[in-house]
Chain A
Amino acid sequence: MSVLILAEHDGQHLKQATRQAVTAAQAWGLPVHLLLLGADTAAVAGHAAQVAGVARVLRVDAPQFEHPLAEDVAAAIVNLARDYKVVLAGHTAFAKNALPRAAALLDVAMLADVIAITAPATYVRPVYAGNVLATVESSDPIQVLTVRTTAFAAAETGGAAEVVTLAAPAASGLSRWVGETRNVSDRPELATARVVISGGRSLGERFEEVLGPLAQLLNGALGATRAAVDAGFAPNDIQIGQTGTVVAPELYIAAGVSGAAQHLAGMKDSKVIVAINHDPDAAIFQVADYGLVADLFEAVPQLTAALKN
């Protein structure tokens, strides 16, 4: 029996989340196979085969995987899964969409956002916005799970997996890809950035103007609270929290963030947390290593200047 990882890629490179899933997959001490779905996975298969800890790369090329839809992804997983003990992926929008569908088709439970694998079928996962950690045991013959990427280091290169090409099941025809919008930025990807500068709704229309230069200086990504995103001051994909992205960078600077439980759920495992807020009682100070009670419109540019020198 082996472990099957649903890989995520952009046609060229694996997503960091997949490398993190590879690390998590070592918990079973079984061979690890990577499932690559795409229109043409030749290039990415070459990279995937070099990830240490991967024994086999399974390529499934089909036109419907140019923009993989949950219906087809789940079908491809189900096609293979009965030969595996574990099916896993990083806890990304892609996997959150497809894996529960595959699990239900296999008639097994799924574990979402696992932060630790303590025994072959025992997992720790956050519930209630991370205020509670639940340890759960699965009795299903196939374990289907997503892992919280910040809880596992990314696997290194240095492997030499065999690459096998498999046929795709027919497209479901239930759904069709129409289009996408990408929030392009030349900053590092939020989920894996070493530094995250995050802002709340009080930044208003000046979100980018105030936080951008600090992010630029520290080569950081921008993050936001739900309130800032809801108000249209920041794009949806940078919302941090229970219902957004979970990050754990080396440095997290929260400016004008109140520190609601739902926000803390997405950043409280950061290594160093800085809070800048003019309310000395703001909840964010309870998780901050360094707190500065100040007006962010003055303090953030001053900090940017101070760190430049």
Chain B
Amino acid sequence: MKALVAVKRVVDHNVQVHIKPDGSGVETAGVKMSINPFDEIAVEEALRLKERGVVTEIVAVTLGEAVAQDVLRHALAMGADRAVLVEAHGELQPLGVAKLLKAVVEREQPGLILLGKQAIDDDAGQAGQMLAALLGAAQGTFASAVTVQGDEVEVVREVDGGTETVALKLPAVLTADLRLNEPRFVKLPNLMMAKKKPIEQLTADGLGVDAAPRLKRLKVATPPHRAPGVKVNSVAELAQKLREAKVV
């Protein structure tokens, strides 16, 4: 069975983001970019399924400008077999992402499609569910354990108040939560080798997909800062402050 993993290039999670002076968006020029951490977990899960003999081939796909190839190289260095870049310009929103991925799924015919549960830039958390909808496929979101059994995949999902287990008909779309696995380290020689691997190039136009944004960003701003607090010197003082603030 083939696995398709969608990966996104995002501002690295350790970077303190800054808003562009004109308020039009977040500064990404000269900022460290990385594979979205949840997508890295999705790649890792595909690798583990391959190591268990469930998956035979892993195709990593990303969407966007040519620079997004970075994250495909990362996925290849982790162990993905092939990589596909769908070149698309301008802002991509979850619905457009789902439409582009659907076109790639139709070409590749994977049995499992894995994504991260959310991207840490726009925090939308929608692409997987939208893709499953457009494919008419089952969805296993916020996955913390994945087991393929026959023509079904059993998924333990992290939900409010605990976990839920569902069984999905294949092909299915899964989105990775934090505790699905811990991604392996990418070794430098693997990264060097991944640089030489070919990346298949497609375009949104070539796929006949309209991925135009539906939402218009009017502005971005920093949230209001909390007024600076005080340091207390003792537990007794803390208890007194909390009483004064009438919160205990």
Interface residues of A (CB under 8 A from B): 67, 69-71, 74, 92-94, 96-105, 107-113, 122, 126-140, 172-183, 191, 195, 218, 226, 229-230, 235-237, 242-243, 245, 250-251, 261-262, 268, 271-274, 280, 285-294, 299, 302-303, 306-307
B207 in the interface (beta carbon within 8 A): no
Name the residue of chain A whose CB is nearest to the CB of B226. A287
Instruction: Pick the contact of A262: B13, B17, B136, B179 (CB < 8 A).
Output: B13
Name the distance in Å between B145's Cβ and chain A's nearest Cβ: 11
In the complex, are the beta carbons of A104 and B134 less than 8 A apart?
Answer: yes
Q: How far is the CA of A80 from the CA of B124 in the complex (A)?
A: 24
Partner of A237, one of B16, B98, B159: B159
CB atoms of A128 and B129 under 8 A apart: no
Chain B interfacial positions (CB closer than 8 Å to A): 11, 13, 16-17, 19, 26, 38, 93-95, 98, 117-118, 120-126, 128-134, 136-142, 144, 154, 157-169, 177-179, 213-223, 226, 228-232, 234-236, 238-239, 241-242, 245, 247-248
**Residue from A132, A180, A294 in contact with B163 in the complex, judged by beta carbons closer than 8 Å:** A180
Closest to A299 in B: B235
Indicate if the CB atoms of B159 and A290 lie closer than 8 Å. Answer: no
Query: What CA separation (Å) do A154 and B108 show in the bound complex?
Result: 47
Interchain residue pairs A-B with the least CB separation, the first 10: A104-B130, A100-B129, A100-B126, A104-B133, A109-B214, A174-B138, A306-B239, A289-B229, A178-B165, A251-B247
Interface pair A132/B159, CB less than 8 Å apart: no
Residues of A within 8 A of B157 (CB): 93, 97
Q: State whether A235 touches B26 (Cβ < 8 A).
A: no
A178-B133 in contact (CB<8A): no
Q: Are B168 and A175 in contact (CB under 8 A)?
A: yes
List residues of chain B with CB within 8 A of the CB of A173.
Answer: 169
Contacts of A175 in B (CB 8 A): 138-140, 166-169
Given contacts A261-B16, A291-B229, A306-B236, contact A191 B166 (CB under 8 A): no
In the complex, the answer to whether B93 meets A109 with C-beta atoms within 8 Å is yes
Q: A97-B141, A100-B129, A128-B11 are in contact. Are A290 and B229 (CB under 8 A)?
A: yes
Q: Taking A127-B122, A175-B169 as contacts, is the C-beta distance between A272 and B247 under 8 angstroms?
A: yes
Known A-B contacts A112-B125, A122-B218; A177 and B226 likewise in contact (beta carbons under 8 Å): no
A178 engages B222 (CB within 8 Å) = no
A182→B238 CA distance, assembly (Å)? 35
With A97-B142, A274-B238 known to touch, is A181 a contact of B162 (CB < 8 Å)?
Answer: yes
List of A residues within 8 angstroms of B158 by Cβ: 93, 236-237
User: How distant is the Cα of A288 from the Cα of B129 in the complex, in angstroms?
Assistant: 37
**Residues of the A chain whose Cβ atoms lie less than 8 Å from the Cβ of B133:** 74, 100-105
Chain A residue numbers with a CB within 8 Å of B136 are 174
Q: A129 touching B120 by the CB < 8 A rule? A: yes
Q: Does the CB pair B220–A93 fall under 8 Å? A: no
Interchain CB contact under 8 A, B242 and A274: yes
- Cβ–Cβ contact A268 & B220, under 8 A: no
With both chains docked as a complex, state the minimum distance between the C-beta of B121 and any C-beta of chain A, in angstroms: 6
Supposing A101-B132, A262-B13 touch, asked if A245 and B160 sit within 8 A by C-beta, the answer is yes
B213 to chain A, nearest CB (A): 8
A-B contact pairs, 28 of them (CB 8 A): A94-B160, A100-B94, A101-B133, A102-B133, A103-B95, A104-B134, A110-B94, A128-B121, A129-B123, A133-B223, A135-B217, A136-B218, A138-B215, A139-B214, A175-B166, A176-B167, A177-B165, A178-B165, A180-B163, A182-B161, A183-B162, A191-B160, A226-B178, A243-B177, A250-B247, A268-B226, A292-B235, A303-B239
